[in-house]
Amino acid sequence: MTIKRALICGVSGQDGAYLAQLLLHKGYAVFGTSRDAQTASFRNLELLGIRSHVSCESMALNDFRSVLHVLSKVRPDEIYNLAGQSSVGLSFDQPVETMESIAVGTLNLLEGIRFLGATARLYNAGSSECFGNTGARAADENTPFHPRSPYAVAKAAAHWTVASYRDAYGLYACTGILFNHESPLRPERFVTKKIVAAACRIARGSREKLSLGNIEVIRDWGWAPEYVEAMWRMLQQQTPKEFVIATGESHTLEEFLSTAFQALGLDWRDHVVLDSTIMRQSDLVASYANPSLADKLLDWRANMRMVDIVDLLVNAQMTRSASVS
């Protein structure tokens, strides 16, 4: 039996690490890329205990020659494009880097596959940020995009580039439109990790105050290890197409905040300062999702809900803090 070869661009990130773990479990030969594989720490792979099982290559997605070199060397059956600048807030400070790493990087992968005549299937990581404010209506695969940040604009450009190459050249390429998904591997620049980490420090005796911006924003939060299964399933279909991946349940950030502090026996109102100066430009007010197509065609559905996710995050953070102290 031939072993499938998977190339994960952005293997060092949250999704890349969990996807590598999943594919290894399924018997794949897994290759991952980083801008400089010789100096990258691949900390998330180490935390999952799989670093020695992933072959890592240096690749800069905005450098077409670099992309061609790695595609030619690895000869993957499946490519997962999870790389690129991943922070919405940072994209306002680094719009050019955001556009190049996401939109140009995706274009280079597609053009590389076409140029080499490869039969590799490509999964592209999209984002619910492309929808903008959904209002009370849950977004599905046919909902128009209204991006409101440089990050969302770049993701929208990559989304349509994938669709264009699929139609024009017959490539097997598709985009997963993922709503927010969390795990202990999230860096603290993400507000969910920021909340959980601060709540755990306070529970262990810290007298700090947590500063937050708009806590009335509404999001659909899922569990990252479940979402990478949806990515894999998208590349196993007979025909490539886009899918919304989400729980179908949305909550305010205040609910997330309250749940995290309550899990530690605390009232968030005693420890949080609301600061309007740290609110993000053009922040989305409400984000609702309709993942019914993934349920129907991929036989995929989210099992973890916001309350479950917060409990897992708090427990992981407290365990980690105890092991460090």
In-domain check, residue 294? no
Residue 278 above 80 pLDDT?
A: no
Is there a catalytic annotation at residue 250? no
Of residues 122 and 136, which shows the higher confidence score?
A: 122
Both tokens of 139, joined, read 């977004």
Q: Which domain holds residue 82?
A: 5-181+222-245
Residue 215 above 90 pLDDT?
A: yes
Lowest mean pLDDT across 1-10, 153-162, 260-269: 1-10
Question: Is residue 136 domain-shared with residue 98, that is, in the same domain?
Answer: yes
Residue 279 above 80 pLDDT?
A: no
Whether residue 287 contacts residue 250, with contact meaning beta carbons closer than 8 Å, is answered with: yes
Stretch 247-258: mean pLDDT, rounded? 98
Residue 281 above 70 pLDDT?
A: no
Residue-level pLDDT at 201: 97
Residue 91 above 70 pLDDT?
A: yes
Stretch 179-184: mean pLDDT, rounded? 97
Distances (CA, A) of 99 to 3, 94, 279: 35, 9, 22
pLDDT band at 324 (very low <50, low <70, confident <90, very high): low
- Which domain CATH number covers 64? 3.40.50.720
Residue-level pLDDT at 104: 97
Question: Is residue 108 domain-shared with residue 156, that is, in the same domain?
Answer: yes
Is there a catalytic annotation at residue 151? yes
Three-class SS string for the chain? CCCCEEEEECCCCHHHHHHHHHHHHCCCEEEEEECCCCCCCCHHHHHCCCHHHEEEEECCCCCHHHHHHHHHHHCCCEEEECCCCCCHHHHHHCHHHHHHHHHHHHHHHHHHHHHHCCCCEEEEECCHHHHCCCCCCCECCCCCCCCCCHHHHHHHHHHHHHHHHHHHHCCCEEEEEECCEECCCCCCCCHHHHHHHHHHHHHCCCCCCEEECCCCCEECCEEHHHHHHHHHHHCCCCCCCCEEECCCCCEEHHHHHHHHHHCCCCCHHHCEEECHHHCCCCCCCECCECCHHHHHHHCCCCCCCHHHHHHHHHHHHHHHHHHHC
Residue-level pLDDT at 184: 97
Question: Is residue 30 domain-shared with residue 13, that is, in the same domain?
Answer: yes
Pick the catalytic residue: 18, 28, 123, 151? 151
Is there a catalytic annotation at residue 282? no
Pick the catalytic residue: 34, 91, 127, 149? 127
Question: What is d(CA 66, CA 60) in angstroms, rounded to the nearest whole number?
Answer: 6
- φ and ψ at 32, to 5 degrees? -130, 155
Question: Is residue 98 domain-shared with residue 211, that is, in the same domain?
Answer: no
Question: Is residue 162 domain-shared with residue 279, that is, in the same domain?
Answer: no
Whether residue 108 contacts residue 67, with contact meaning beta carbons closer than 8 Å, is answered with: yes
pLDDT digits (tens, 9 = 90+) for 232-241: 999 999 999 9
Pick the catalytic residue: 100, 129, 182, 242? 129
Residue-level pLDDT at 322: 75
Residue 90 above 70 pLDDT?
A: yes
In-domain check, residue 88? yes
Amino acid at 315: N
Question: What is d(CA 28, CA 285) in angstroms, rounded to the nearest whole number?
Answer: 40
Question: What is d(CA 24, CA 17) in angstroms, rounded to the nearest whole number?
Answer: 11
Residue-level pLDDT at 175: 98
pTM of the model: 0.95
Q: How far is CA 173 from the centre of its chain?
A: 18
Q: Is 33 exposed, middle or buried (0-12, 13-18, 19+ CB in 10 A)?
A: buried
Question: Is residue 114 domain-shared with residue 209, that is, in the same domain?
Answer: no
Of residues 111 and 282, which shows the higher confidence score?
A: 111
Question: Is residue 91 domain-shared with residue 210, that is, in the same domain?
Answer: no
Question: Is residue 158 domain-shared with residue 265, that is, in the same domain?
Answer: no
- Which domain CATH number covers 199? 3.90.25.10
Residue 27 above 90 pLDDT?
A: yes
Provide, rounded to the nearest whole percent, the portion of the chain with pLDDT above 90: 87
Question: Is residue 197 domain-shared with residue 120, that is, in the same domain?
Answer: no
Question: Is residue 263 domain-shared with residue 117, that is, in the same domain?
Answer: no
In-domain check, residue 131? yes
Q: How many domains does the chain have?
A: 2
Mean pLDDT across the chain: 95
Question: Is residue 140 domain-shared with residue 199, that is, in the same domain?
Answer: no
Residue 176 above 80 pLDDT?
A: yes
